[in-house]
Amino acid sequence: MKRKLYEVAHSRAGDKGDVLMLSLIPYEEKLYEPLCNAVTAERVKHHLRHIVKGEVVRYEMPNISALQFVCQNALLGGVTTSLGMDTHGKTLSYALLEMEVDLE
């Protein structure tokens, strides 16, 4: 059964220059492994393809049941040079949560 990520997890965003960091934290610890299987760096890159122009790397943090995605070339040059509406990329955590995944 497909579900939107916002139904099973929450997300936070951070930035450094033109690099966006997105965390994905399941509401329930038992969903960590299914999320690891369903939410790959490639899927995130595809889902955010109109925003993230560079590489996406996923880091697993099993000790806190979280995933972190580091997205290169994602903020139109960075906070101090971007003319974008959301120079810090905070709303992109919500964009990630719109991804549909199959957790079975």
Q: Which ranges of 6-104 would DSSP assign to H, the alpha helix?
A: 32-38, 41-47, 92-97
* CATH code where residue 21 lies: 3.30.70
Q: What pLDDT is recorded for position 82?
A: 45
- Give per-residue pLDDT as tens, 29-59: 999 999 999 999 999 999 999 889 999 999 9
Q: List the domain range (segments joined by +) for residue 89.
A: 2-102
Q: What pLDDT is recorded for position 101?
A: 96
List the structure tokens of 68: 């972190």
Estimate to the nearest angstrom the gap between the alpha carbon of 84 and the chain centroid: 19
CB 58 within 8 A of CB 41: yes
Q: Please count the structural domains in the chain.
A: 1
Q: What pLDDT is recorded for position 88?
A: 47
Residue appearing with tokens 């109109």: 50
What 84-89 contacts at long range (C-beta under 8 Å, 24+ apart), as own/partner pairs, is 88/13, 88/15, 89/13, 89/14, 89/15, 89/20
Q: What pLDDT is recorded for position 74?
A: 82
CB 13 within 8 A of CB 20: yes
Q: What pLDDT is recorded for position 43?
A: 97
Positions in the chain whose pLDDT score sits under 70: 76-90
